[in-house]
Structure 1
Amino acid sequence: MNIRLLFSATIALSAAVVLADDLPALETVAEVDLAKYSGKWYEIARLPMPYQKQCAANVSATYIPNANGTIRVINRCLADNGSWSEAEGLAKPQNEANSKLSVTFMPKALRWLPIGKAPYWVMALDENYETAMVGQPDRKYLWILSRKPQMDEAVYQAYLKQAQEQGYDLSTLIHTKQF
């Protein structure tokens, strides 16, 4: 990913944190064990996001814990042109329950800046850490994730229902191709 695209995506993420006055607080899970949450997740579905517009299929996110309590994030996808696109970021817990994180994909040298950080709130997570739903308080972005490339349809539908109940408009939801 080139620096111009990365910086544009970071600015878009920063702008996404502004909340609409009429939205209730976004509900998150009670607690996230970051050690269990770590590892590879496959994207099952997402709401469109500028930095993922090149992603045609095989979208995944890998979370790797750092010794200082932060999490290294590696997002990968197969682009429309058949090449792989990869972005590396950093997530930091924002509450003691670890259900609210802040993520940045700014270049490492710029991560100290007070911009370019986006909320990553875990809205749903099964007890075995096999499926998850992540969103942002402004309801603009949403990801449905699974440890496997496909998700049980009943679980998927339950997550969609929960997202709608929390105020998400799913009319532009993208079902990710995994092969």
Structure 2
Amino acid sequence: MRRFTAPAAALVLGLSLVPAPASAQAPGAEVRPVRSVDLERYQGRWVQVAAIPQPFQAQCARNDNAVYTLLPQGQVQVVNSCTRADGGTTSLEGRARRESPGSTSKLQVSFVRTTEGWNFDRPGTYWVIGLDRDYRWAVVGAPDRRSGFVLSRTPAPSKKDIAGMTTALLRNGYDLCDFEITAQDGGAPESVPLCPAG
């Protein structure tokens, strides 16, 4: 499988699909969340630039995005939406909460609602492992690296921002070839693997 360095991956995310040398993936690196996240600043709409494909997104053809709203009790409302191949829109609401009282970069997410409220018996792991100081982009992962999401406030982030996103993934031991670029109106024209075949 082809590996990409941080600069080459930035070119790939920028849709200049070119061959690149061996990966700068940090061998044996642990997945580490950022020190803290200002959840008020983290609110709002995030566009998915790239992600490790997930079963729950199978119906999405383009425009995957999430809107986060901080609620009075400290939880975060999560509304994920995307455009299907037939042109319709799909959305799903959930809740996120802190994994522990002192943590703002380690969250748990539930999309299971019961009559008693949101069920966090088997929550999804949502660790912010990369974050721009101006909250222009964020990288979300999990300790097992089975999920990974590259988020931006805009569908076409700058090369500087793409380089920051890529560095965050590599620093946390992610294989960039597990990711797929997300098609976005105003951004990538189609969903393609981050690492071209061959």
- TM interval, shorter chain, is 0.7 to 0.9
Scaled by the length of structure 1, the TM-score of the pair is 0.81
Q: Unmatched 5+ residue regions in structure 1?
A: 1-21
**Could you tell me which of 108, 114, 117 is aligned with 2:121?**
114
Partner in structure 1 of residue 179 of structure 2: 173
Structure 2 residue matching 1:171: 3-state secondary structure? helix
The whole-number CA distance in structure 2 between the counterparts of 1:172 and 1:112 is 30
AA partner of residue 72 (structure 1): Q
Shift of 1:24: 5.1
Residues 50 and 149 in structure 2, CA contact (< 8 A), matched pair in contact too: yes
The whole-number CA distance in structure 1 between the counterparts of 2:164 and 2:70 is 29
Partner in structure 2 of residue 40 of structure 1: 45
Partner in structure 2 of residue 60 of structure 1: 65
| Structure 1 position 92 matched with structure 2 position 87 | no
Structure 1 residue matching 2:32: 3-state secondary structure? coil
Shift of 1:139: 0.5
Q: Unmatched 5+ residue regions in structure 2?
A: 1-26, 186-198
Partner in structure 2 of residue 150 of structure 1: 156
Residues 99 and 121 in structure 1, CA contact (< 8 A), matched pair in contact too: yes
Larger Rg: 2
Partner in structure 2 of residue 5 of structure 1: none
Q: Which moved more, 1:90-99 or 1:23-32?
A: 23-32
The whole-number CA distance in structure 2 between the counterparts of 1:27 and 1:144 is 15
The whole-number CA distance in structure 2 between the counterparts of 1:128 and 1:164 is 21
Residues 30 and 173 in structure 2, CA contact (< 8 A), matched pair in contact too: no
AA partner of residue 145 (structure 2): R
Deviations 1:99-140 (A, max 9, x none): 00000111243633522x011000111111111101111001
The whole-number CA distance in structure 2 between the counterparts of 1:76 and 1:102 is 19
The whole-number CA distance in structure 2 between the counterparts of 1:99 and 1:173 is 22
The whole-number CA distance in structure 2 between the counterparts of 1:75 and 1:108 is 19
Query: What is the total number of aligned residue pairs between the two structures?
Result: 157
Partner in structure 2 of residue 10 of structure 1: none
Say if 1:113 and 1:38 are closer, same or farther in 2 by CA, change over 3 A: closer
AA partner of residue 102 (structure 1): Q
**Could you tell me which of 75, 81, 93 is aligned with 1:76?**
81
Instruction: Note the aligned Cα RMSD (angstroms).
Output: 1.8
Structure 1 residue matching 2:134: 3-state secondary structure? coil
What is the percentage of aligned positions where both structures have the same residue? 33
| Structure 1 position 125 matched with structure 2 position 134 | no
